[in-house]
Amino acid sequence: MPDETCMAFDSVAPFNPNTLHRFIVGADPAPRAMSLAEVKALGDPFASLLLARGIVPRSGEEVLAKIKAAVPANSPLKQHSSFILGEGSQLASTVESAAVDRTLRFVITVGTGPNGPDLMLSVPDPNQPNLIELMAWDRKVGGFNYYRSTGDGAMWMFAGNSRDALRDASHRKGVFESHRSGAPVMKELKTPWINWHSPAANIPDTAFAANDPRRTHDWFKNKEPGGGLTFEFQAARPAMSRWAKARFAKLRKSGGTVTRPRRFMEQILDSPAVNLITTHVESKALTPTVQLDLPTTFFVDSEGLSDILGLVAPPAFTVTGRIYAKCLEKFNVRMDDGDGFRIKGDTHFCFLVPERGFEDQVVLREVVEMGLVSRRLAACLLMVDPWNPIFSDRRSALLRHVPVTATITNGKSTFSRDLAKTILAAAKIAPAGTPEKEFATRWNTGTGFAAAFNKLLTGYYGAVAAKLKTQTGFEAYFRLAEHRRQEFRDRTRLAEFPLLLPHTNIPAAKRRMKQDGSVAGG
């Protein structure tokens, strides 16, 4: 069985490092040399400015230097910004933490504009030849072209275009194991951008060993002061939106057939992309009276239901530091690098939990705006098990009803009606308590669904707020958070580093939030 994970790039047989090889995992059994014509067909700046001209950079630093050398003075590609992140970046510099791998790495963006940068690369060391992850916007066909380097001499592989993320052969394989819909990933997308250097948490030079040359490297010394904030707004969000727009551009403009509607419906009904979010309270600054601002998306898909579909927004959910601290003690919360370093307490910012990925929200907005999915259908689907905004098996079970194709003409599509009909037909013969029955109940509220849904949500918000006032109420949510983190570990390839998530003594169990704000599953 060939390795079809993102690790596949690290075990390829050596090849000529002066030739770009194509290795779209799942579609290609092994890397194969690309002809010059194939390289020239790639429409991104990395290929067109460097590789197609026989220029092969051997490190991240060289990529940047050679791109800048290849463009005129007024080109946006002369501009770069550097960012740094690392799961151990906020550990205090102590004797105990001296040997910990803080997994520090740089992210470089090249080019600026309303659509974000044209090129991004990520690498732990500016001078290393391998493990460079590079993505660059293809102006010919749209989407990002993904590249990976491996080996001591920087053997470059073209790992696919965003569109390959949606093709059956390469879906969720290779680089698309983490870039599931083809979009760039910023796991910690939102304030306070845990693990990123940001206004909320600096990464000081002491995060590097005293003799680490990265400590004085330009990428570190002149890193973007806004860090995660700047990357979120100038790079990650625009890049995800750019791909979503390009993905549906043709359908928006001239209509046509969607060959794999399941792909975008997965992004609505399932949780293929995941972001990580925390409160804004440092775990070391926890005091009994502080109010922790719990992420609302832990409780409800507020971005999908409220921001996009206009249903009632949740209130601010908070819990006191007193209650939270007791959970840390009771559940023996600790950080553990798996290599002998262990420290009591939570992640740098308290209560790290997974939430629905922004790239999936962008797609929801796109398909609703273009008329492929009606607002009513979207609301009724997301109101199936809305108490579990992420990793809901009940909601994802409805994927079985998605038709194999969909068409859209002049902004009108029968897709929503057809899908609703299919689910309603299944609901007629389905036993009570099934997601189909739940959908039917939602659908039968009619076109004035908003008032009914708002009532349901408001009742739920009130129930949650009441639970948050008690120790036992919040402990159930703490256990649910641990379950969701476990799901995140199991379902995605994004839990790559041992210091990303906290460890607890909470036994593994399937846990689900219920409408009354209680948690099933212990």
d(CA 470, CA 362): 36
Rule CB under 8 A: say whether 315 interacts with another protein.
yes
Please say which residue, 282 or 301, places its beta carbon nearer to another protein. 282
d(CA 350, CA 333): 11
Please say which residue, 80 or 483, places its beta carbon nearer to another protein. 80
CB-CB contact of 495 with 467 (8 Å): no
Kindly indicate which of the ranges 42-50, 233-241, 249-257, 426-434 contains the residues binding another protein, using the contact rule CB under 8 A: 233-241
Q: Which of 230, 271, 413, 486 binds another protein (CB under 8 A)?
A: 230
Kindly indicate which of the ranges 64-72, 156-164, 195-203, 439-447 contains the residues binding another protein, using the contact rule CB under 8 A: 195-203
Closest among 41, 259, 249, 247 to 163, alpha carbons compared: 247
Task: Give the 3-state secondary structure of 196-238.
Answer: ECECCECCCHHHCCCCCHHHHCHHHHCCCCCHHHHHHHHHHHH
Please say which residue, 281 or 390, places its beta carbon nearer to another protein. 281
Please say which residue, 191 or 422, places its beta carbon nearer to another protein. 191
CB-CB contact of 174 with 29 (8 Å): no
Task: Provide, rounded to whole angstroms, the least separation between the CB of residue 238 and another protein.
Answer: 4
Rule CB under 8 A: say whether 293 interacts with another protein.
yes
d(CA 130, CA 152): 6
Pairing of strands 334-336, 133-137: unpaired
Please say which residue, 200 or 319, places its beta carbon nearer to another protein. 200
Task: Provide, rounded to whole angstroms, the least separation between the CB of residue 148 and another protein.
Answer: 26
Positions in 72-91 near another protein (CB under 8 A)? 90
Kindly indicate which of the ranges 60-68, 99-107, 260-268, 276-284 contains the residues binding another protein, using the contact rule CB under 8 A: 276-284
Rule CB under 8 A: say whether 287 interacts with another protein.
yes
Positions in 342-361 near another protein (CB under 8 A)? 348
DSSP characters over 88-105: TTTS---TTTTT-----E
Residues in the chain: 522
Kindly indicate which of the ranges 314-322, 431-439, 449-457, 504-512 contains the residues binding another protein, using the contact rule CB under 8 A: 314-322
What are phi and psi for residue 304, nearest 5 degrees? -75, -50
The structure tokens 């940001």 sit at 198
Please say which residue, 163 or 215, places its beta carbon nearer to another protein. 215
Q: Which of 4, 212, 369, 487 binds another protein (CB under 8 A)?
A: 369
d(CA 28, CA 22): 8
Please say which residue, 113 or 459, places its beta carbon nearer to another protein. 113
Closest among 383, 377, 379 to 395, alpha carbons compared: 383
Q: Which of 22, 80, 167, 237 binds another protein (CB under 8 A)?
A: 237
Q: Which of 153, 238, 321, 345 binds another protein (CB under 8 A)?
A: 238
Cα–Cα–Cα angle for 160, 161, 162, rounded to 5 degrees:
125
d(CA 446, CA 341): 57
164-199 burial, b if ≥16 CB within 10 A, otherwise e? Answer: bbbbeebbbbbbbbbbbbbbbbbbbbbbbbbbbbbe
Q: Which of 204, 213, 288, 521 binds another protein (CB under 8 A)?
A: 204
Task: Provide, rounded to whole angstroms, the least separation between the CB of residue 153 and another protein.
Answer: 35
420-436 burial, b if ≥16 CB within 10 A, otherwise e? Answer: bebbeebbeebeeebbb
Rule CB under 8 A: say whether 124 interacts with another protein.
no
Q: How many CB atoms lie within 10 A of CB 211?
A: 6
Rule CB under 8 A: say whether 235 interacts with another protein.
yes
Kindly indicate which of the ranges 159-167, 258-266, 312-320, 479-487 contains the residues binding another protein, using the contact rule CB under 8 A: 312-320
Q: Which of 72, 114, 340, 446 binds another protein (CB under 8 A)?
A: 114
Which residues are bridge partners to 106 per DSSP?
A: 84, 123
Rule CB under 8 A: say whether 206 interacts with another protein.
yes
Rule CB under 8 A: say whether 367 interacts with another protein.
no
CB-CB contact of 15 with 31 (8 Å): yes
Number of chain positions touching another protein (CB under 8 A): 43
Rule CB under 8 A: say whether 284 interacts with another protein.
yes
d(CA 328, CA 368): 41
Rg, Å, the chain Cα set: 24
Rule CB under 8 A: say whether 365 interacts with another protein.
yes
Q: Which of 199, 255, 321, 345 binds another protein (CB under 8 A)?
A: 199
Please say which residue, 15 or 298, places its beta carbon nearer to another protein. 298
Rule CB under 8 A: say whether 281 interacts with another protein.
yes
List interacting residues with another protein (CB under 8 A).
90, 92-94, 112-116, 191, 199-202, 204, 206, 225-226, 229-230, 233-235, 237-238, 241, 280-282, 284-285, 287, 291, 293, 307-308, 313-316, 348, 365, 369
